Structure 1
Amino acid sequence: MTTKTALVTGASSGIGEATARKLQNLGFTVYGAARRTDRLKSLAADGVRPVAMDVTDDASMQSGIDQIIAETGRIDVLVNNAGYGSYGALEDVGIDEGRRQFEVNVFGAMRLAQLALPHMRAQRSGTIVNITSMGGKIYTPLGGWYHGTKFALEALSDCLRLEVKPLGIDVVVIEPGGIATEWGGIAADHVERTSGTGAYAPQAKAVAMSLRSEANGNRNSPPSVIANAIGKAVTASKPKTRYAVGFGAKPLITARGLLSDRKFDALISRAVGMPRN
């Protein structure tokens, strides 16, 4: 039997690292991508193939796909995991930073899909897994650019799924809830740098405190729950279109569908400890 090949971006830590290990355990030849391959040493020591890739650099992405095809002749799974949270009041976040948030979280993922699809079409098979977030269905204050990217990736995934299904290719969305990674602490630092002073300082303090509380608490789910969901999706004959997994994902997404905008606003404001007028 031909060994299937998978590419996982953002593989240097957290969800990406756990996913690379999971897919390797399932028998895939796995390429773990990151901007700095020195951060992939532990994965490489365990047999995951490191590949240098910057999802904001087209030549880097093209080179990575070319390397995979040259070495294995195929690509069966693309896991678009690379991303970060650019938090801050919309008034405060510079437009260049907003563009970068979309470059990393959206355009990089879609460009890799474009590069992988010709090979998947030739095989008449393949799975593209886009890691969005419960933040692609709900919203929080001072997270506008981040949520914008995740909402966009949800919509793009839906359109892509319809386009490639007749070609034998699946598109799956993974919507993580609270996951025990470094993401929350980084987002908290970002919101303080961006909006820690000025008109939005009280909100920034509350949001940063909430992000750090979640990051330092023990309620968040381990990255393995996301890796397991991805493993299940890419080995299923008919994967679900969406997997909402991890702390808070299903209840919050359900609440968004049930509550009015104003009631959901109040729920989220209370949850993050927003100051009142």
Structure 2
Amino acid sequence: MARADGAGQVALITGASSGIGEATAVELTRRGFVVYGAARRVDRMAALAGRGVHVIEMDVTDDASMTSGVEQVLREQGRIDVLVNNAGYGSYGALEDVPLEEARRQFEVNVFGLARLTQLVLPHLRAQRSGRIVNVSSIGGKMYEPLGAWYHATKFAVEGLSDSLRVELEPHGVHVIVIEPGAIRTEWGGISAESALTRSGDTAYSAQAHALARIYGVADRPGVGADPRVVAAAIGKAVTVRRPRTRYAVPTSAKAILLARRLLSDRAFDAVITRAYGMR
């Protein structure tokens, strides 16, 4: 059972070099966890190291890297209590324009890396008969956009994987929680917009690519996109309350979008998306 704080508990967070992962590392450290922040670029985590976070190099597309990282945590701490699968990125562009090699990489990072790291940690959580696995999905796991076929496919996959895993692990005392962020001010939006423009900015899908870039540019502005600390606070709550919810959608605007998706028919939601992207 998780206590009201994280004293004595160990958390491993992927994608900790920026955005949601970095904010979560700070939040869990504040709550008393021993935190390991993992990312490909350790040099970008100097500030976290200064806050007492153990920074480790990890590439979620490299099995040896993930295995080594988990072994290091267990060697140094003897346990892992929380795994936050946050590493991921958005690959955008029309399905017709995106090479399958890039589509496979999107799945390797967003789905298979998450699944493999979970496999590596699970034997230890089961042995303890306790623990939390937090999978950072997106409202994109419940809705869709033009030019986002591969990204949304990965997040729909994370949602289904997490649901199956939740009931699979319930008898072993391990909780699985899904976090569904909406518009958050991170590097994610800029990277996604750039990929859409690179692949489809000069093709038959140019109008949609430029519309998507404009929308994501607005989302990154203060007062529009939420601070990553909002998501970190939700994760902090999820890993410390006695009985966590299965899903946390943040910020409030994310809940509104998911409510609209539940209430509207596919055709009605298509119309909303079409208008939003200036396709009609």
Relative to the length of structure 1, the TM-score reads 0.97
- In 2, distance between residues paired with 1:269 and 1:212? 18
* Residue 275 of structure 2 is aligned to residue 274 of structure 1: no
Query: CA 1:112/1:199 → structure 2, altered by over 3 Å: closer, same or farther?
Result: same
How many equivalent residue pairs?
275
Tell me by how many angstroms 1:248 deviates.
2.2
- SS of 1:221's equivalent in the other structure is coil
Please show how residues 42-57 of structure 1 align to structure 2 within 5 Å. Answer: 42-57=47-62
- In 2, distance between residues paired with 1:166 and 1:213? 44
Equivalent position to 1:82, from 87, 100, 106: 87
Equivalent position to 2:258, from 234, 242, 253: 253
1:148 corresponding residue in structure 2? 153
Tell me by how many angstroms 1:186 deviates.
1.1
Q: Are the counterparts in 1 of residues 89 and 188 from structure 2 also a CA contact under 8 Å?
A: yes
Q: Which runs of 5+ in 1 are unaligned?
A: none
- In 2, distance between residues paired with 1:89 and 1:121? 42
Tell me by how many angstroms 1:202 deviates.
1.2
Q: Are the counterparts in 2 of residues 6 and 75 from structure 1 also a CA contact under 8 Å?
A: yes
Equivalent position to 2:235, from 216, 230, 236: 230
Q: Are the counterparts in 2 of residues 220 and 247 from structure 1 also a CA contact under 8 Å?
A: no
Tell me by how many angstroms 1:217 deviates.
4.8
Letter of the 1:98 partner, please give it: A
Tell me by how many angstroms 1:2 deviates.
7.1
Q: Which runs of 5+ in 2 are unaligned?
A: 1-5
- SS of 2:239's equivalent in the other structure is helix
* Residue 4 of structure 2 is aligned to residue 4 of structure 1: no
* Residue 101 of structure 2 is aligned to residue 132 of structure 1: no
Q: Are the counterparts in 2 of residues 129 and 173 from structure 1 also a CA contact under 8 Å?
A: yes
Letter of the 1:240 partner, please give it: R
Please show how residues 80-229 of structure 1 align to structure 2 within 5 Å. Answer: 80-229=85-234
Tell me by how many angstroms 1:219 deviates.
1.4
- In 1, distance between residues paired with 2:87 and 2:234? 17
Identity across matched positions, percent: 61
Residues 64-108 of structure 1, C-alpha deviations (whole Å, 9 max, x = no match): 000000000000000000000000000100000000000000000
- In 2, distance between residues paired with 1:129 and 1:214? 25
Equivalent position to 1:239, from 224, 244, 247: 244
- SS of 1:175's equivalent in the other structure is strand
Tell me by how many angstroms 1:188 deviates.
0.7
- In 2, distance between residues paired with 1:73 and 1:268? 49
- In 1, distance between residues paired with 2:228 and 2:147? 25
- In 2, distance between residues paired with 1:175 and 1:3? 27
Residues 197-232 of structure 1, C-alpha deviations (whole Å, 9 max, x = no match): 121111111111111121135211110110000000
Q: Are the counterparts in 2 of residues 221 and 247 from structure 1 also a CA contact under 8 Å?
A: no
Letter of the 2:253 partner, please give it: G
List structure 1 segments (4+ residues) > 6 angstroms apart after TM superposition. none
- SS of 2:177's equivalent in the other structure is strand
Q: Are the counterparts in 1 of residues 218 and 224 from structure 2 also a CA contact under 8 Å?
A: no
Superposed CA RMSD in Å reads: 1.1
Tell me by how many angstroms 1:180 deviates.
1.1
Q: Are the counterparts in 1 of residues 98 and 199 from structure 2 also a CA contact under 8 Å?
A: yes
- In 1, distance between residues paired with 2:222 and 2:272? 20
Relative to the length of structure 2, the TM-score reads 0.96
